[in-house]
Amino acid sequence: MNDEYYIEKLGPYHEVFENAKEDILQEWFSFKAVSGILLKHGIDKEYFLKEFADGVFDYFMRVIVKEVTIGQCPVMEKFVLFLKDEDISSYELFELCTHFKRAMIDFTYKEEINSQDIFNAITHIFDQNFSSILKFYSDTIYAKEQEIMKNMELLSEYKKAIDESSLVYKVGSDRRINYVNDKLLELSGYEIDEVIGADYDFLRYDDTEKEQCGKVWQDIERHGIYRGIVKNRKKNGDYFYLQATILKLYNPYENDTEYMVIAYDVTTLIDARLEATKASEAKEYFLSNMSHEIRTPLNAILGFVALLLDEEKDAKHKNYLEIIAKSGENLLGIINDILDFSKIRSGEFVIEKKEFLLYDEMQSVLDLFRVSALAKDIEVVDNFQKDMPPVLFGDILRIKQIVSNFMSNAIKFTDVGGVIKFDISFHEGMLKVSVTDNGIGIKKENLENIFNAFTQVEHDATLYGGTGLGLSISYQLAKQMGGEVWVESIYGLGSMFSVEIPVDVVDKDVELLQRSRLEENIFGKKTFSGRVLVADDNEANRELIRVFLAKFGIECDVASDGVEALELFEKNDYKLIFMDEQMPNMDGIEAVEKIREYEKQRNLKHTPVSAITANVIKGAKEYTLEHGFDDFLGKPIEFKEFKRILKTYLKPSKVSQTQTKERTSNDFSLEIQGVDKEFILKELSLSEEELGMLLTLFLKKRDTLLPELEAAIVKKDFARIAKIAHDIKGSSGNFRLEDVQKEASQMERMAKEMREDFDFISSFDFIARKLDAIKL
């Protein structure tokens, strides 16, 4: 990581440091080591503050606001020259700089702005600066004949200072430990003769894979340095975490290479962070899972209530059913709010921008609420700014969600016969929508909490209903889109809620856009040109994608691993590649890296590659995009997302849909047990014959995988268990077997962590029972 990276981490705290300048400098002087050096050289504290300390602090501030570069502090050079006749030692310079760094770090802990990034950034800047001071000290103050002696003294002083404050060990070119300091022995519980001569991964904790250690050493060989957190094992079996810096050093006396590890114990910090993460994940999982579990039966309830309403003739019973339907719809709205809220909090919420017709979309929001406003005799007055651009580019779905929340609240809290104003304007790239009511208003003391989650201020929840999440979701959505929401209110007179979102103006003919949208709604399935490569080790997944592609008139080649995919890529011209992330022989990440190398070597055009993976946890998409992929398709595959990728990377074909391969006749009927046939047909846009073919492949794979999985569990072959569970997770998701997918996902995770306390047998029995229930 370069200097810019660390400076960026401290930039936001510039003002906080400036305001605490006096306190930080006083903290610096309070250290005995600093006051002792000043006393030794007869330097008055106030003089040092005025002539040197004040300037050192200002230099550090100028670095983090990018006014000066790291590595040359003129104030410290002035101080060195001032004391040249006093023969100030490098150790004393080191002590002064180190304790200033310590004062800065101590301040971040007191102010609770500490983090690993802040610690690393402060350390990096001070280390770079001290390196420059040492160079100035060596080059300009003392004669060259004294340099070797001084450097030896410096190394000795470094060792002493580091040994007193850090955990240190050293590894030779044979990758065996040849030095360890007392602090590390004390922490780990080992005796020195147990460590010296041991292999470099002697301290590695059991759940840290050897491959991971290998990658650390690869980074050191490539860059000469590694910084990161490593998990180690104490003699008694406990673990401890180290924030380690590993340096590759050349030993001129031995004509050999060594590796020095300088580390700090961060076990408490890491444990606290992991516990906080687990608690947060558990909370988000509970919210999301609870909402899904409730929504499934509720959809059925609402559906059957709607049917009964159509059939019921008795006025009293019909009224009861309408009450049930209304209550169910309110409950569904609450559940959807919880789902949106949990997605936003977990980072799974995605902003999707597209072109939209401003007037049409805003009118659709008004139309949605006019009926409920009319029921309370509320007048809705709209005011559209004149000469607004007709076509804009942004996430209109989320903008409408925010505005709908505003309208819903306005109607909810406005009395019968009230008035609601709906104002829309556009200025300098900002779309502004305001909803003003003359309802009950909000007390001044409650305004600052109005956008907090689960807040309904003092309103009676039994009277008005809702979760109190709507405004919080609106606030988070606006923030994600780069905008803001705010409220103005006078208690008893009414409120105005406003949202302002940055959007782009699209120079496009309105009638043409309306016509193209209409055509897309009518004809939907365009056809595309270009050959496609599909790489996936699961046959059912490959066949599903092939069926999808056939619907759009696209031919494809298939590969079962990265090696085969690379061979096909080098022989053929593909316009798009679907690549599974986890495959045998060569995984998708490595295959894409080699594809990019091949393109670069032969000056070929870039071939778009979309990941297809069941790994849809937070960060998975970003990881694949950072490693050469262009897009991301999660498993289970959604037809809408699949179509989006085709539209993004392929050109429309001149061949019409009717000229492509004919669909299977409608007289084919499929009898299936164990899956929701109608739901899958709708979700995946398949014919019954296509679904039957895919299920046949899936069941064939089931009959192979289940015995292999059972055998792997008996042998405790965790790598094999994880691989098979991953296969089952991906393929079962395609058929929307959510309970199997969830259980297989948990088994995969437990196998990767080698959790012997996990009941793999019961988990296998559950999966096998569910899969065996599927019959054609």
Q: In whole angstroms, what is the distance from residue 202 CA to residue 196 CA? A: 10
Q: What is the pLDDT of residue 294?
A: 64
Higher pLDDT, 665 or 766: 766
Is residue 488 scored above 90 in pLDDT?
yes
Beta bridge partners, 421, equal: 381, 436
- Mean pLDDT throughout 189-213? 78
d(CA 4, CA 577): 36
What pLDDT digit, counting tens, does each position of 362-403 carry? 887 887 777 778 888 999 999 999 888 989 999 888 898 888
Sequential DSSP letters for 626-678:
HTT-SEEEESSPPHHHHHHHHHHHSPBPSS-GGGSPPPPPTT-----BSS-HH
Both tokens of 122, joined, read 């402060």
Residue 260 near residue 247, CB atoms below 8 Å: yes
- The average pLDDT across 222-243 equals 85
Which pair of structure tokens corresponds to residue 268? 């408490």
Higher pLDDT, 189 or 550: 189
Q: Is residue 695's pLDDT more than 90?
A: no
Q: Cα separation of 765 and 703, whole Å? A: 14
Residues contacting residue 573 through CB under 8 Å, at least 6 positions apart: 531
Mean pLDDT along residues 282-288: 60
Token pair listed for 570 = 């080098």
Mean pLDDT score, 491-495 = 91
What is the full DSSP assignment across 467-531? -S-HHHHHHHHHHHTT-EEEEEEETTTEEEEEEEEE-EE----HHHHHHHHHHHHHH----B-S-
Bond preceding residue 636 cis, omega within 30 of 0: yes
Range with the lowest mean pLDDT among 207-211, 353-357, 720-724? 207-211
Q: Which two tokens stand for residue 689?
A: 């014959």
Amino acid at 262: I
Do the Cβ atoms of 572 and 560 come closer than 8 Å? no
Is the pLDDT confidence value at 570 over 80? yes
End-to-end CA distance of the chain: 57
Please name the residue that has the structure tokens 């089952």.
Answer: 728
Element spanning 2, H or E? none
pLDDT-wise least confident of 102-111, 253-262, 278-287, 321-330:
278-287
292, amino acid identity:
H
Mean pLDDT, rounded, for 746-773: 88
CB neighbours (10 Å) of residue 575?
Answer: 16
What is the C-alpha separation between 356 and 514, in angstroms, rounded?
10
Averaged pLDDT, 319-323: 78
Taking the C-alpha atoms of residue 572 and residue 555, their distance in angstroms, rounded to an integer, is 13
**Which has more pLDDT, 300 or 534?**
534
Contacts of 163 (CB under 8 A, 6+ apart): 181, 182, 183
338 HSE (CA, 13 A, CB side): 21
Structure tokens at 270: 């890491």
* Cβ-contact 590, 562 below 8 angstroms: yes
Q: Work out the number of other CB atoms within 10 angstroms of the CB of residue 255.
A: 7
Distance CA 81, CA 96 (A): 15
Band of residue 463 on the pLDDT scale cut at 50, 70, 90: very low
pLDDT band at 658 (very low <50, low <70, confident <90, very high): very low
At residue 428, does pLDDT exceed 70? yes
Integer CA distances (angstroms), 74 to 112, 132, 476, 487, in order: 31, 10, 46, 51
Q: Which two tokens stand for residue 411?
A: 């109607």
**What's the whole-number mean pLDDT along residues 495-503?**
95
pLDDT on residue 526: 64
At 380 the three-state DSSP class reads strand
Report the alpha-carbon distance of residue 113 to residue 14 in Å, rounded.
Answer: 12
Average predicted confidence (pLDDT) for the chain? 79
Span 15-26, mean pLDDT? 89
Lowest-confidence pick of 11-25, 139-153, 220-234, 405-419: 139-153
In 187-255, at which residue ranges do the beta strands (DSSP E only) sit?
Answer: 225-233, 239-251
Task: Report the distance separating Cα 260 and Cα 263, nearest Å.
Answer: 10
pLDDT beyond 50 at 659: no
In whole angstroms, what is the distance from residue 607 CA to residue 756 CA? 44
